[in-house]
Chains A and B, each alone.
Chain A
Amino acid sequence: DIQMTQSPSSLSASVGDRVTITCRASQTISTYVNWYQQKPGKAPKLLIYATSSLQTGVPARFSGSGSRTDFTLTISSLQPEDFATYYCQQSSSTPYTFGQGTKLEIK
């Protein structure tokens, strides 16, 4: 199985900050990485697919990059509605696996 190691597990930041979350795969997965945002009591929402493609309707302050085993999600200027938990996920092969999550909190 492909393990996805996400860091940090939690992060405190302020509105307007630039934030980066990283995800490392246990083996090369090309660009089959996706990123999700989840708010308390809600279903996850797809932000980025195929490493760097922005899902329709997602603000351009979200971006993704990486390849092979190392991937990042960047939020260029945090907005109040961005405080949530973020998950990476590999879709290269089953079992599809998620990172442990990064809880982004207000400083």
Chain B
Amino acid sequence: EVQLLESGGGLVQPGGSLRLSCAASGFTFSSYAMSWVRQAPGKGLEWVSTISGGGGDTYDADSVKGRFTISRDNAKKTLSLQVNSLRADDTAVYYCARRGNSWYSFDYWGQGTLVTVSS
């Protein structure tokens, strides 16, 4: 059974940093690209970042470029998102999601971790 478990969220002041993690199990982690998708309170879904299975290619939304860094450790089956220079509009639930190999849908999701940016 595919499982994705996020951690690392919390309350942080504007300008602060956090490191989000996603522990994966139940599938060959290195064979899949992985993504982060976020959802601000009461709002819709926003894609944040994607990293290839080998980790060599990354893609970021313009809204986070230069502030967020996606990475992975295939030996530990862990996906990470380093979030820096946080702003109030980064407040959201951050979901880890597996990207399917054929049509690039997000076929499995974690339960999410809440990041709140506030002074």
In the docked arrangement, what's the CA distance between A101 and B46, Å? 11
In the docked arrangement, what's the CA distance between A1 and B65, Å? 15
Smallest CB separation, A16 vs chain B (Å)? 28
- Count of residues in A whose CB is under 8 Å from the partner chain: 25
Q: Which residues of B have CB within 8 Å of A34?
A: 103, 105-106
Considering only CB atoms, which chain A residue lies closest to B63 in the complex? A95
Please determine whether B95 and A43 come into contact, CB atoms closer than 8 angstroms.
Answer: yes
Q: How large is the interface on B (under 10, 10 to 19, 20 to 34, 35 or more residues)?
A: 20 to 34
Classify the interface of chain A: helix, strand, loop or mixed: loop
Q: Which residues of B have CB within 8 Å of A31?
A: 103
Smallest CB separation, B36 vs chain A (Å)? 11
Q: Which residues of A have CB within 8 Å of B105?
A: 34, 46, 49-50, 89, 91
In the docked arrangement, what's the CA distance between A23 and B91, Å? 27
